[in-house]
Amino acid sequence: MAEIETVTQSEERQLVVFDLGGEVYGVDINSVREIIRMQAITRVPNAPEFVEGIINLRGKVIPIIDLRKRFSLEIGEETAETRIVVVDIAGEDIGVTVDAVTEVMRIASDAVEPTGDLIATDDSYYIEGIANLGESLIILLDLDKVLSKEHRTSVLKARDQAVEANEAAAASKEEGEDGEKGATKGATKSKRVAATAGTK
């Protein structure tokens, strides 16, 4: 009995399901690091159009991409349901914005159908397949293909430049504060010397 259960489990897939532009998408749960609410995103200059910017997540800088822009969908408004899904793309943690995360579900592997001629565009290579659940269809994404190698390079370069800029700004601020402290100490010492000379 245990052996049969093991086989059954191996034929299942667990997905994180989300809405985007009126369609339902799914990604393998093993690729999802965490799901967070929308927060302030720092813009990054000279980044690809679909890169929204970066966020600081517990001390780690995470680049954020807008999947609507990446998939050339109509730009939507941010709502209370909008989420950032932090995922592993080719070994890097990257956040993607989605309209809403709806559920985590298990599906049978044989419910996934290849795209074939259903979705045959030059820019659909990141679609792994379609999960046919009878009453609904879920578009399964291959996250490693959502960003091309050139896109990943651009995204990570923008992230690194932002980190360097922040570190330089912090260092400059620290130097300025040290300079102010030094000037204050010098002025205080001069006043003491002048006061001492005046008493002689």
pLDDT tens digits for range 170-200? 888 877 766 666 555 555 555 555 555 555 5
pLDDT tens digits for range 105-161? 999 988 888 876 555 555 678 899 999 888 889 999 999 888 888 888 888 888 888
Q: Is pLDDT above 80 for 73? A: yes
pTM recorded for the entire structure = 0.76
Task: Show the domains of the chain with their CATH numbers.
Answer: 2-160 (2.40.50.180)
Closest CA to 94 of 47, 127, 139, 45: 47
**Average pLDDT, rounded, for the chain:** 83
3 state DSSP class of 99: coil
d(CA 66, CA 146): 11
Q: What is the pLDDT of residue 7?
A: 39
Q: Is pLDDT above 60 for 99? A: yes
